Amino acid sequence: MLTFYNELHAQHRGRHEIFRGEMVPCFEKPERADAVLAELGRRGLGSIVTPHGVPLMTLERVHTPRYLQFLRGAWNEWLALDPANAGKDAFPAVWPVRTLRSDVEPDNFCARLGLYSMDSGTPLTAGTWTAAKTGADCAVNAAHALRLGERSTFALTRPPGHHAGADFFGGYCFLNNAALAAQHLLDDGLRKVAILDIDYHHGNGTQSIFYDRNDVLFVSLHADPRGEYPFYLGHADETGAGAGLGYNVNLPLAAGTGAQAWFAALETACLRLQMYQPEALVVSLGVDTFAGDPLSRFTLQSADYLRIGERLAYLGLPTAFVFEGGYAVKELGVNVVNVLEGFET
């Protein structure tokens, strides 16, 4: 397993997030990636290398130019409102929901912050752009290494990516790392790529980016969105549109789901992946399915993550793992590295 580690991930460091009307410490924090890096070192699972930068054009294959421009300049606009904002994270507070227009870009920064986001639980900070951009670099590097002959790679970065759409952030995500990895594989010559998303939360951003296409199969196992974030996408009847009809597979699972039902769903996912015959696989690797996760309500145990890796290896595909969620920091390293080690054995 060749790991690409984004050394600048800690540039994104939220002070707090809004949860049920209160400011609480961020669940999505730098210690998460530090924990995974430390465990990788302990277990000696192959080399850890530094990714190199990719051009903005590569990001524009997934994200709109105006969203990227907004994200890149957002912190400076936030500071321009009031120099005292340097000591605060930026949060959206107004959104263009049904009947309101999202096609006219407002001048007002707060209005644009809402236009380009889906929730108020995702703090934008001084180093958010730097961390997200170098994270996207990291994911594209992990994908490209498959083209250079690696069997498996791991993009170790944060903030995560799978909730971010073509032109919005949310769910702790700003740039869709998994989508960028998949798109890069296609742009580098592959014809069919699959994305398997095993984070506890539905990867609404990834789904929406590829929803009307058949060159990327998106398969996701996640908590039923009727009860869990992102709430407004991830239902079983979302099967794709146009040429993409049949190339989006959602397998929502009830709160309280344990290993037996989860692995049964993984089997369904693997059969669909195999049928598609992709040339490579991108895995959105969230381990917030863990029993001890503070945000989630599945009950997977640490040993289960070894079995996940083993099952994915059996698909026999060049595979790029991209780090997503997982908030039980103490067990996070073991759980993530278990998947990677299970894949290698």
Note the residues at the interface with Zn ion (CB under 5 A). 199-201, 286, 288, 325
State the catalytic residue, choosing from 9, 12, 162, 163.
163
Tell me the C-alpha distance between 268 and 262, whole Å: 10
Q: Which of 75, 172, 174, 343 binds ligand SP5 (CB under 6 A)?
A: 172
CB of 128 to ligand SP5, least distance (A): 15
Residues 6+ apart with CB under 8 A from 237: none
Interface segment toward ligand SP5; rule CB under 6 A; list 87-95, 170-178, 216-224, 231-239: 170-178
Tokens, residue 34: 């530090």
Interface segment toward ligand SP5; rule CB under 6 A; list 123-131, 134-142, 235-243, 287-295: 287-295
Q: Cβ-count burial of 35 within 10 angstroms (0-12 exposed, 13-18 middle, 19+ buried)? A: buried
* 16 is known as an active-site residue: no
Find out whether 286 and 324 touch, Cβ atoms under 8 Å.
yes
Q: Is 295 in the site for ligand SP5 (CB under 6 A)?
A: yes
Q: Which does 229 bind (CB under 5 to 8 A by kind): ligand SP5, Zn ion, none?
A: ligand SP5
CB of 107 to ligand SP5, least distance (A): 29
CB of 158 to ligand SP5, least distance (A): 9
Tell me the C-alpha distance between 182 and 191, whole Å: 11
Q: Is 199 in the site for ligand SP5 (CB under 6 A)?
A: yes
Nearer of residues 167 and 199 to ligand SP5, judged by Cβ: 199
- Alpha carbon dihedral 328, 171, 155, 276, in 10-degree steps, equals 110
Find out whether 260 and 307 touch, Cβ atoms under 8 Å.
no
Number of Cβ within 10 Å of residue 47's Cβ equals 9
Total number of residues shown for the chain? 345
CB-nearest residue to Zn ion: 325
H or E element that contains 331: helix 329-344
* Residues of the shown chain interacting with ligand SP5 in the complex, contacts defined by CB under 6 A: 19, 121, 160, 163, 171-173, 199, 201, 229, 286, 288, 294-295, 324-325
Query: What are the catalytic residues?
Result: 163
